[in-house]
Structure 1
């Protein structure tokens, strides 16, 4: 029986020799690449890039979520917040965040990671530092808007960069590093906040102000280094030898059926905006990001509501984030190893649903704290695999450069919801926050099943055409006959 990969026969008959590569797409056999050299170069990318994929998101999540740590030791009282002002401050951050994701990633594709990412990094670090000097609600809102503008491109930008370097089967573990950085930043954020809180007032400034000043100053230095360490793109990376750069150029030509070429066309943007796969994935990510952002911004508040002190609330987040880092890597490894994105994603939603059910069903302190492990342990797995799954199934690069941030911007609208579901009046148990989070995780579970059947249906329709002898379905990108979706 014919398969999608049997299209190489038709390609050969038309004058283009083709063969399979490990990503499940067609490749030109006229281009020979030494497999040992390719492995060596990929290890080189891991050596130079993975530390940056860890450090940069680490400081991003640290600078984004430190407002949650600041809240438990006087941030609201010092700035005379009223009602749900704290939730509104977080909402306005996401409102600006979602608007700028697509422009940042398209700029990255156009001008290179070595220019665009450091610009956004240094600017948001300066904004974080400036937050330590705000005096009222209005100033806080203004800086959170700017923080959203400058942070917007990092996560989808780095995910896009990973998708241009690594094969589809190797991407989940790399994307997991971005989310693991978020987990670890939560752990270290709690530790740093606890240490700064013990400083008390220094030089006339409250402890929460020092939290922003110290973390912002560190971020400026770390992010500034990215000017010199990030490559423009995979083919001209500064750490490659001329021979290795030539090999990467050949590799790009070999993989052109999956990744596409560098010739821009607005048609690629239209393809992204018209693809229902992106909107389904965004709906799932919207739902799952409500508990994700809720935990990132309110975990110390939730733990304090269980009956712990403000000091305890900060350092008790540390083991939760360490546990979620371990489960995240396990899930990402299984997803890459067995090429099963949907199954691992579904498994990630189940402990989250159960964890919030426990928070809703009992006010027992120990059970509530255990439930936080279940929630954090599943949330990061799900979002990592979903992000990777979408990146795997978009072609070519320019469609991906629009599709990934479009997905991210739509899903990050959830930040405006998550910021409102833990009002101070709902303490100490925050029933509404747990109920909404559990319900949204159920939606994410059902949406994942829908994506699976959508992509499975597309693969089956292509396979039917191939079995009937077709060599083309007159479609472009990932919808073309030669592309097989990862399930």
Structure 2
């Protein structure tokens, strides 16, 4: 049968093109179709203009959060007269406000646009970091650390959410992996910058650790001002798109409404996120993985120093560790995309990290312990399986918020009393990584079971199972 003027046969593509009816004011129904080659060309523009900015934002965020670990090697604790477990407490307190304000920041991105909200966040946290270079006691450090947690809270979940609105489901994993990879890249840059500043020494009456905060904060504030002009408000209003490309992005939303959902906000979507078993399973799994992740990021210089290396060596020795982490992540991501087995690959990652922590627990040899740090450096799957956008914009920061509570725990598992080998912290990190692997298995079986139930319903002729969002009959989970 030939297509009418209101209906055109949808071209084939290796990118799934779902069609959904779109109703006009006269209630006429048309079928949305998009040239797949033009769609790919449009998406590639986001890779050129937006993704590099996302990487830089993530690098700066991680640098400005974890530079306290490098500052510790410079004499940060001694100059501020820290006592007992003060440094660990300071590390933990950051995550209190970080967890509380993640969801509001991401919902603000959805409502007010990425360019203004993210730029405000970057500028705000940069001012806090610069201010840290001028503190004189523990109380001042606590106040600024809490404010820093508030200002950085929404960055990673907001960037993850934006990626989920720009890219097709099948290609989101690589972009999210780029964000994780930029964290490892930030660690390498952080070690390099810290080493250079340590060599610079005291200048203008300020200690080297103060210059670390001032210089890194100044870099961030300049980039934050730039982001205000260069980040798009949304994927459909990007400044670098031509009018026909903007229309394509809007048409794609109509086409993909089975995945993204409508633009109309309802608190029911937030409730859907909070009551989804899969979201809670992901949150608990990420919580377990977060303990070694956050502990590693902040305490790596301390751990390396505890292995017997000199202070001046510590900061540059962190660089190859993070570079190795980037390479491991790239290999894992490539294998996951090639095999199309997200869960199977994801469950292998904790095994690498477990091995890494087992080595310094089992041997006091400095060389072996340093080698283990390479192994330790090694969400997109979950974000792929949440619909619609409003549920995803609440679910992503929600389960990341639960996961980030682990930052409070990680700050306490490397107490000064356990130096120099920090066996307690490494043992806790190993155990939590094992539980994270178990959580991945649980998520896999939850999603597989849901797909099986939907498949049976379709085989039985059911056209509507009465569910909304990703639980609806027309949505299939990626495994």
* C-alpha deviation, 1:27, in angstroms: 2.3
- Report matched runs for 1:263-278 at 5 Å: 263-278=264-279
Task: Tell me, yes or no, if the aligned pair for 1:471 and 1:481 is still in contact at 8 Å.
Answer: yes
- Report matched runs for 1:12-411 at 5 Å: 26-28=18-20, 30-377=31-378, 387-411=379-403
Is 1:482 the counterpart of 2:478 in the alignment? no
* C-alpha deviation, 1:216, in angstroms: 0.5
User: SS of the residue aligned with 2:264?
Assistant: coil
CA distance in 2 between partners of 1:407 and 1:18 (Å): 37
For residues 291-326 of structure 1, the C-alpha deviation after alignment (integer angstroms, 9 at most, x for no partner) is 100110000100011110111111001011011111
Task: Tell me, yes or no, if the aligned pair for 1:25 and 1:483 is still in contact at 8 Å.
Answer: no
How has the CA–CA distance of structure 1 residues 469 and 23 changed in structure 2, closer, same or farther, with 3 Å as cutoff?
farther
For 2:458, the equivalent position in structure 1 comes to 466
CA distance in 1 between partners of 2:17 and 2:351 (Å): 33
For residues 410-457 of structure 1, the C-alpha deviation after alignment (integer angstroms, 9 at most, x for no partner) is 000000000001111110000110000000011001111111001000
Structure 2 gaps, min length 5: 1-6, 22-30
Task: Tell me, yes or no, if the aligned pair for 2:11 and 2:35 is still in contact at 8 Å.
Answer: no
How has the CA–CA distance of structure 1 residues 393 and 20 changed in structure 2, closer, same or farther, with 3 Å as cutoff?
farther
TM-score scaled by length of structure 2: 0.95
CA distance in 2 between partners of 1:363 and 1:158 (Å): 40
CA distance in 2 between partners of 1:303 and 1:101 (Å): 31
CA distance in 2 between partners of 1:22 and 1:137 (Å): 57
* C-alpha deviation, 1:23, in angstroms: 6.6
1:429 to 421, 425, 432: 421
* C-alpha deviation, 1:51, in angstroms: 0.9
1:415 to 407, 410, 424: 407
CA distance in 1 between partners of 2:59 and 2:416 (Å): 28
Task: Tell me, yes or no, if the aligned pair for 1:24 and 1:483 is still in contact at 8 Å.
Answer: no
CA distance in 1 between partners of 2:249 and 2:209 (Å): 47
Q: How many residues align?
A: 464
CA distance in 1 between partners of 2:398 and 2:449 (Å): 23
CA distance in 1 between partners of 2:338 and 2:231 (Å): 28
CA distance in 1 between partners of 2:203 and 2:459 (Å): 74
CA distance in 2 between partners of 1:399 and 1:280 (Å): 16
CA distance in 1 between partners of 2:245 and 2:438 (Å): 45
User: SS of the residue aligned with 1:235?
Assistant: coil
For 1:380, the equivalent position in structure 2 comes to none
TM-score scaled by length of structure 1: 0.93
CA distance in 2 between partners of 1:101 and 1:334 (Å): 31
User: SS of the residue aligned with 1:316?
Assistant: helix
CA distance in 2 between partners of 1:99 and 1:56 (Å): 21
How has the CA–CA distance of structure 1 residues 483 and 267 changed in structure 2, closer, same or farther, with 3 Å as cutoff?
same
* C-alpha deviation, 1:20, in angstroms: 9.3
CA distance in 1 between partners of 2:449 and 2:342 (Å): 16
How has the CA–CA distance of structure 1 residues 111 and 229 changed in structure 2, closer, same or farther, with 3 Å as cutoff?
same
Is 1:447 the counterpart of 2:448 in the alignment? no
CA distance in 1 between partners of 2:340 and 2:20 (Å): 24
1:456 to 448, 451, 457: 448
CA distance in 2 between partners of 1:340 and 1:310 (Å): 43
* C-alpha deviation, 1:339, in angstroms: 2.5
User: SS of the residue aligned with 1:443?
Assistant: helix
Structure 1 gaps, min length 5: 1-14, 378-386
CA distance in 2 between partners of 1:351 and 1:158 (Å): 27
* C-alpha deviation, 1:200, in angstroms: 1.4
* C-alpha deviation, 1:21, in angstroms: 7.7
